[in-house]
Each structure stands twice: as C-alpha cells, then as structure tokens.
Structure 1
Amino acid sequence: MPSIRKSQLSDGFESLCRWAAEQKGIDLVQEIDFDHFEKLSEQRFWKMERLSLVQLVFQRPLEIWLALDKALYLEERGYRVRLAEFCAKSVTPRNILICAYKI
C-alpha cells in the first residue's frame, strides 16, 4: 500500500479501509462492521504501546550486547577492536562505533 497523506486519516477508519482496499484492488463486501474492526485495531494499538514500553527497557542493553558480540567476533579473527559512542543517545540509540584494525 502506498504512503497515505495525513489528511486521509481525518476522513475516518472506514474511509481509510476503503481507500486501502482500492489501492490493492480488493473488493470489500457490503456488510463490513467497520466500527467493530476499528475498536479491535484500537485495542491492538494500546497492547502494542504497552509492549513497546517493555522494549524500551531492554533497548540500550541489547544494543550494547550486540556491539560487544560483534567486537568479540572481530577480536577472535585477529582484529584490535575499540568501541566508542559517536553521537548522543538522544540522536540515535544505535550510536556505538566499532573501530577494528587487523593486527
């Protein structure tokens, strides 16, 4: 599905669904309960929001673990490795630079 214009969201859920179906060449049946599916999607949205809060707790430790794992891999293959932060975490959480030189 192509990107949507933000203004399309103000037309409501049913309008968005019909537009998306049209973009994909899907014929929608007439008896769709759009209110029901909008409520379901809102429930799923809030569930994902709660899950993303849990994800935030582990985001930085996971980034560090991945960088250390890559550094160890390089050291095991004969590289001298140095880790550094190349910008503030507020710019991007993936701010760990791996410098590796073959020894």
Structure 2
Amino acid sequence: MRRCGPTQELDETPGPGLRRRGTMTDARGDAPLMETGIDPATLGDDDLFRELASLYRARLATLRHGPDAALSNHFKRTAELETEYITRYPSREVDPDRLTQDF
C-alpha cells in the first residue's frame, strides 16, 4: 500500500481502496478522496473542523519551505475545506471586535 496522506492509503491493486473509474477512498473505504484528500462534503462537522485546524497549523511551514506542488495542493485544499464550511454555515456569527471597518 502507498500512503496518500496522514490517514489515507491506496491499494495498488483493485479492491476496497479503489472505486470504479479510479476514484480513491480513505483507508476504511467509505469516503471518496479528492485529488488533495477526502471530499469535504462527506466529512462530519467535527472532522471538517479538525481538517481545517490541521491545514492552518501547516500553513506557514508549507508557504515558507514546501515545494511548489505542496503549496499548490495546500491552496486547493484550503479552498475546498473553506468552501464547504461556508456552504454549511452561510450565516455564521461574525465577531464585531474582529471587524477593521464598518460593513
């Protein structure tokens, strides 16, 4: 097996790690993987928040020291996860103390 990420593996031979037409799944075989990870739409809220937190922790190191491909994947994954968050919480609370100007 080949590692696809911290918790994902891909079978090199057809089986539970591969779906028809080559769509990868996570190690359990139940969540489809996107090019940069598990499809955010299939994540529960806790998993989505955990993925976002992990991504933000790795951000500076990826920006400063990662190769171009890693930075590109980071941008894509950030967009995927943040878009899913905004889709789920379009009316999220905005802390007025965080505003820098009146909107």
Interval of TM-score (by shorter of Structure 1 and Structure 2): under 0.3
Q: What is the TM-score when the length of structure 1 is the normalising length?
A: 0.23
Instruction: Give 1 or 2: higher strand fraction.
Output: 1
Instruction: Give 1 or 2: higher helix fraction.
Output: 1
Pick the structure with greater CA Rg: 1
Q: What is the TM-score when the length of structure 2 is the normalising length?
A: 0.23
